[in-house]
Amino acid sequence: MNRMCVVPAIVMVAGLTVFSAVPALAGDSKAQVATAAAHAGMAAAAAEPKMVKGHLQHVINCLVGPAGEGYDAAQANPCKDQGFGAIPDAPMDKMPALQAVLKIARDGVAEPDPAKAREKAAATQTALDKIRM
Tens digits of residue pLDDT in 20-59: 333 445 689 999 999 999 999 999 999 999 999 999 999 9
Tens digits of residue pLDDT in 55-66: 999 999 999 999
* pTM for the predicted model, two decimal places: 0.80
Domains of the chain, by residue range, sit at 29-131
Closest Cα partner for 101 from 120, 85, 88?
A: 120
CA distance 73 to 15: 36
CA distance 71 to 63: 9
Specify the higher pLDDT residue, 109 or 22: 109
